[in-house]
């Protein structure tokens, strides 16, 4: 039987719970009395229509939020430095009107597509093409209606945050997507897309983009970049060297890609040394076209080098078409080591983002192709995997290695300690599944103790969704403002230091981390670290 003390504790507990429920009910009633629901300070709907709250994504703490506002003011209008993304260079070079709202905002956005597919919406209803029906095009209005009807699915997601910014700040919409508003919004967006100010290069300037890096296959002709350069955009739209298709020798189509590499490089490829020379030749072509970086999306971070005889044996087998999976995996790690060697020589920043199992559903990949939402993160190990390349090049004055991950457990345990000691290494921003409000906060909390701020490289938007670029950078700046504001509130930083750091993170650090090849030794410190804050130029 329970004694009197236990019974008394139970009664006290239920009394406390009842009082808390009563308090919560009074709060909800008070809040609901204003504006038919929530007070204006919590609302995203103004008297004239849809609007975005100026404090969105800032800390709710009443002490921290005003500090965060002050910090954000210093970064809100800074130019955008977009050094890792997937906007098509051809889209910018053609500079034609976007065809319709669905093909611009729905079909190519795999964040959006994967959420709708998870709720039973078929790919066909979203306009995602099929390989067995080439040339078939879905009705854009129907695609848009499907998206608008399912708008509530995006509550709480970064996709919603980005799209709200696009709809309100870029296109001036005054009501949310819904089944009722779908046709009205489609017509309004279609009308605006026909205007010159909504063409790609006009938006590029309107967004305040100072420089944007595309991602381009090692065999790309770079003709779109040449066209843009002739029109004065060469310093603002630059290519990025992506050799993945050539480094995974068991990939379907590898031999065809090698033949294309031969044609592009002018190097006949009959073995390993020829393959390396052809890749080096293409890197030189990219540097000449203005490239700042390479990009490597391997499954593993392994960088174990092979001896030349073993590498030659594997390439010979691949050229014959009988390479084993184990040999192919070993060769891809060896080629990451080689890519680091080449970057130490030619000065291109080496970006490595392993740890994603591409095309998880092979039947969908066969039918639809890649990039339709079925890429899934896996556990990734960095400390042992990167040891060979860091022992060889971690102190090399010419190497700039930027490490990304979607395995956030590694931020504090592996990546921050690596970047916190090796001069050639910096941490990439939270990427893909982690560029969310809470993911970016966790990133700062996990890495700052070991790596500080100067060992990071600023935000990357990593997007094909061109119109979402300013939204993504805006969110990152808000999260950094909130993190820094907490340090100020805890008397760990002064306000002027927090503002200087915010400007570094948003602008100075990415500019200097991705400076043109051979303009600095490895990673320079952001301006202002030694001599106080300086205005950006």
DSSP 8-state assignment for residue 358: -
Beta strands in 297-358 (DSSP E): 349-352, 356-357
pLDDT at 45: 47
Q: What pLDDT score was predicted for residue 36?
A: 42
Range 25-45 average pLDDT? 43
Q: Domains in the chain, start-ordered, CATH in brackets?
A: 97-198 (1.10.2020.10)
Q: What is the predicted pLDDT for the residue at 370?
A: 87
Report pLDDT digits (tens) over 194-226: 999 999 999 999 999 999 999 999 999 999 999
Separation CA 188–CA 36 (nearest Å): 28
- Cβ–Cβ < 8 Å for 225, 234: yes
Residues 361-405: tens digit of each pLDDT:
999 989 998 888 899 999 999 999 999 999 999 999 999 999 999
Asked whether the CA dihedral 139, 145, 151, 153 is positive or negative, the reply is negative
Q: Residue 519 — pLDDT band, cuts 50, 70, 90?
A: confident
Please name the residue that has the structure tokens 């296959």: 217
Residue 42 pLDDT > 50: no
Q: How far apart are CA 520 and CA 500, in angstroms?
A: 22
Res. 522 pLDDT band, cuts 50 70 90: low
Inter-residue contact 477 to 506 (CB < 8 Å)? yes
* pLDDT for residue 23 is more than 90: no
Q: What is the pLDDT of residue 351?
A: 98
Q: What is the mean pLDDT of the chain?
A: 90
| Residue 157 pLDDT level (bands cut at 50, 70, 90) | very high
Chain centre to alpha carbon of residue 205: 21
Q: What would you report as the CA-atom Rg of the chain, rounded to the nearest whole angstrom?
A: 26
> Using the 8-state DSSP alphabet, how is residue 37 labeled?
S
Contacts of 276 (CB under 8 A, 6+ apart): 338
User: Over 60: is that where the pLDDT of 8 sits?
Assistant: no
| Confidence band of 462 (pLDDT split at 50, 70, 90) | very high
Neighbours of 263 (CB within 10 A): 9
Distance CA 512, CA 425 (A): 14
pTM value is 0.89
What mean pLDDT comes out for the span 278-294?
98
């Amino acid at each position: 039987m329970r004694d009197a003390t236990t019974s008394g504790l139970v009664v006290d507990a239920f009394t406390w719970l009842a009082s808390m429920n009563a308090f919560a009910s009074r709060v909800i009633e008070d809040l609901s009395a204003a504006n038919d629901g929530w007070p204006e300070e919590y609302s995203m709907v103004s008297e004239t229509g849809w609007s975005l709250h100026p404090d969105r994504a800032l800390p709710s703490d009443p002490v921290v939020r005003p500090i965060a506002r002050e910090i954000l003011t210093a970064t809100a209008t800074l130019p955008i430095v977009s050094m890792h993304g997937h906007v098509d260079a051809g889209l910018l070079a053609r500079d034609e009107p976007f065809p319709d709202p669905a093909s611009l905002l729905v079909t190519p956005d795999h964040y959006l597509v994967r959420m709708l597919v998870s709720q039973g919406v078929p790919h066909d209803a979203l306009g995602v093409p099929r390989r067995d029906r080439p040339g078939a095009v879905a009705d854009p209005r129907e695609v848009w209606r499907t998206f608008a009807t399912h708008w509530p699915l995006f509550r709480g997601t970064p996709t919603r945050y980005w799209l709200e910014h696009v709809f309100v700040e870029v296109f001036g919409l005054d009501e949310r997507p819904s089944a009722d508003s779908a046709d009205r919004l489609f017509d309004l967006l279609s009308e605006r897309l026909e205007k010159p100010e909504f063409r790609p290069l006009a938006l590029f300037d309107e967004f305040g983009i100072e420089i944007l890096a595309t991602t381009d296959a090692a065999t790309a002709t770079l003709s779109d970049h040449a066209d843009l350069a002739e029109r004065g955009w060469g310093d603002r739209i630059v290519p990025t060297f992506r050799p993945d298709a050539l480094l995974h020798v068991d990939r379907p189509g590898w031999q065809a890609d090698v033949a294309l590499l031969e044609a592009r490089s002018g190097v006949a490829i009959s073995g390993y040394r020829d393959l390396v020379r052809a890749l080096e030749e293409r890197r030189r072509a990219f540097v000449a076209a203005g490239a700042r970086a390479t990009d490597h999306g391997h499954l593993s971070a392994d960088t174990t080098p092979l001896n030349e005889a073993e590498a030659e044996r594997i390439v010979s087998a691949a050229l014959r078409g009988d390479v084993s999976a184990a040999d192919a995996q070993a060769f891809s790690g060896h080629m990451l080591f080689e890519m680091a060697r080449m970057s130490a020589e030619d000065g291109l920043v080496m970006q490595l983002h392993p740890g994603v199992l591409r095309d998880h559903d092979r039947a969908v990949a066969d039918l639809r192709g890649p990039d339709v939402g079925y890429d899934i993160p896996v556990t990734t190990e960095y400390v042992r995997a990167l040891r060979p390349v860091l022992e060889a090049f971690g102190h090399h004055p010419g190497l700039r290695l930027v490490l990304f991950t979607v395995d956030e457990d590694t931020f504090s345990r592996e990546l921050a300690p690596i970047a916190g000691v090796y001069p050639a290494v910096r941490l990439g921003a939270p990427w893909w599944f982690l560029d969310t409000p809470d993911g970016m906060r966790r990133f700062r909390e996990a890495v700052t103790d070991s790596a500080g701020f100067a060992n990071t490289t600023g935000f990357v938007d990593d997007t094909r969704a061109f119109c979402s670029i300013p939204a993504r950078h805006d969110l990152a700046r808000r999260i950094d403002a909130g993190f820094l504001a907490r340090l100020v509130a805890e008397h760990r930083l002064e306000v002027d230091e927090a503002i200087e750091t915010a400007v570094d993170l948003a602008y100075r650090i990415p500019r200097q981390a991705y400076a043109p090849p051979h303009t600095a030794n490895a990673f320079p410190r952001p301006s202002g670290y030694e001599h106080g804050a300086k205005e950006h130029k």
